[in-house]
Amino acid sequence: MTRKPSQGPTLEQVAALAGVGRGTASRVINGSEQVSERRRQAVEAAVAELQYIPNAAARTLKTRRTDTVALVIAESEDRIFGEPFFAGVVRGISTAVSAAGKQLVLLLSQAGARSAHLEAYLSRQHVDGVLLLSLHDDDRLPAVIRSRSLPMVLGGRGAGVVDAPWVDVDNQHGAALAAELLVAVGCREIATITGPLDMIAGRDRYDGFRAALSAADRGLPAELVATGDFSQSSGARAMAELLERRPGIDGVFCANDPMAAAALQVLRDAGRRVPEDVCVVGFDDSPLALTTSPPLTTVRQPPEEMGRAMVEVLLGRLEDPDGEPVETRVLQTSLVERGSTRPRG
């Protein structure tokens, strides 16, 4: 008779040897903090004695580290794979995570379409910490992660997320540079296509642009403001709306390069010459800015540097979870002038 291979020890046996319930044993093995130190030690001793888990998992149990970092991008796949900004941030994060000897898990999910499985995955059983990118105001994911005592770092300031480290670019300063340039080259009727106003980046760019126009004694009436969502399709729609409202527009700031590229096409189709009739400024300095006709004047932001900085801050939190104060970093923006704006007079 062929002998069946002997089965390994069960969770019930671990619990019995440790003198705790099965649920307590499971919580210890899964890295939960909601267990007393005495019971944790008893379960870990039983695990070691019974050799309940493989060596790699035993190391995770002992150190309570998985050497894995999750990056959650809270946007649709169309935006993530269609906008160069995301590719740059992911490159920076991947390079820094690899250099730290850790693994990166990329999770793509909009808040409205997010599955319970994704939220359940974000636990100490699976990852050491979480990087969150492109949050909208109503996203509940930061609260879920906080409830599990996972270190997290935000890419961009998160509205309503207190005491969480973040890394962002100086969106207001960059947008102000765009406004100042449009004024300097002689534009009189200056409009803007904003990003989504339920995101800090969208609001900061709008606020910075409006404040700089005000400082130059220029107003920004509602008919010169159209709202986009950072997609090219929204940029095209918004530019068409602006031309219908105010045909005499001669300057436009778009809150990212994809919307600016779409605006250029709409202007061309409407018979408006760029930059002779209308000057256009974007925000990103992505590779797309070099492919438009004419090449796009834009605000440069450093997405790869942002990704690396997010990882650096997270690694600091992993080493010192209770470190004070909560670290924040603001990366500089600058203006890159190309053919979509007239030379300064």
User: What would the DSSP string read from start to end of 186-247?
Assistant: T-SSEEEEE--TTSHHHHHHHHHHHHHHHHTT----GGGEEE--SSHHHHHHHHHHHHHH-T
Contact residues for 171 (Cβ-Cβ < 8 A; gap 6+):
200, 201, 204, 205, 208, 333
78 and 223 belong to one structural domain: no
Query: What's the rounded Cα separation, in Å, for the pair 183 and 213?
Result: 8
Domain count, the chain: 3
**pLDDT tens-digit series, residues 142-176:** 888 988 889 999 999 876 677 889 999 999 999 99
Structure tokens at 254: 């778009």
Give the pLDDT confidence of 282-314 residue by residue, as tens digits.
Answer: 999 999 999 999 999 999 999 999 999 999 999
Q: With bands split at pLDDT 50, 70 and 90, how would you rate the model's confidence at 32? A: low
- In angstroms, the CA 97 to CA 318 distance is 13
- The CATH number linked to 37 is 1.10.260.40
Q: Which of 81, 267, 289 is nearest to 191 (CA)?
A: 267
Domain that holds residue 45: 11-63
| Domain contains 137 | yes
Cα separation, 314 vs 129, whole angstroms:
7
Collapsing DSSP to helix, strand or coil, 313 comes out as helix
What pLDDT score does 4 carry? 45
Q: Which residue has the higher pLDDT, 38 or 282?
A: 282
- Give which of 150, 171, 127, 141 is closest to 75, Cα–Cα: 141
Q: Is residue 345 part of a domain?
A: no
Q: What is the pLDDT of residue 322?
A: 72
Mean pLDDT of 18-28: 85
- The C-alpha atoms of residue 250 and residue 246 are separated, in whole angstroms, by 10
Over its C-alpha atoms, the chain yields an Rg (Å, rounded) of: 26
Same domain, residue pair 19 and 34 = yes
- State whether 315 and 281 are in the same domain: no
Same-domain status, 21 and 101: no
> Would you say the C-alpha torsion 74, 77, 81, 83 has a positive or negative sign?
negative
More confident residue, 322 or 176: 176
The reply to whether 156 falls in a domain is yes
Does residue 1 register a pLDDT over 50?
A: no
Assess if residue 159 is contained within a domain.
yes
Same domain, 105 and 49: no
DSSP structural state of residue 129 = E
Among 10-24, 66-80, 106-120, 177-191, which stretch is predicted with the lowest mean pLDDT?
Answer: 106-120
Give the pLDDT score at 139. Answer: 85
Residue 337 lies inside a defined structural domain of this protein:
no
Whether the pLDDT of residue 33 is over 80: the answer is no
Greater confidence (345 vs 258) lies with 258
Residue 123 lies in a domain: yes
Give 2's DSSP letter.
Answer: P
Does any domain span residue 262?
yes
Residue 319 has what pLDDT? 84
Task: Answer with the one of 45, 63, 81 that is the final residue of a domain.
Answer: 63
Query: Do 100 and 53 sit in the same domain of this protein?
Result: no
Q: How many CB atoms lie within 10 A of CB 115?
A: 9
Residues 103 and 54 grouped into a single domain: no
Confidence of residue 5 (pLDDT cuts 50, 70, 90): very low
| 238 in a structural domain | yes
SS3 track for 249-276: CCEEEECCHHHHHHHHHHHHHCCCCCCC
* Whole-number pLDDT of residue 131: 97
Helix (H, G, I), strand (E, B) or coil at 169: strand
Is residue 224 domain-shared with residue 164, that is, in the same domain? no
CATH code, 229: 3.40.50.2300
Question: Is 147 in the same domain as 211?
Answer: no
Report pLDDT digits (tens) over 6-17.
567 888 888 999
User: For 237-262, how does the pLDDT look when each residue is reduced to its tens digit (9 = 90+)?
Assistant: 999 999 999 999 999 999 999 999 99
CB atoms closer than 10 angstroms to residue 139: 23
180 and 84 co-located in one domain: no
- Is there a single domain that holds both residue 185 and residue 297? yes
Same domain, 233 and 311: no
* Cα–Cα distance measured from residue 90 to residue 58, given in angstroms and rounded to the nearest whole number: 31
* pLDDT per position as a tens digit, 190-206: 999 999 999 999 999 99
- 198, 200, 207, 201: which is closest to 225 by C-alpha? 207
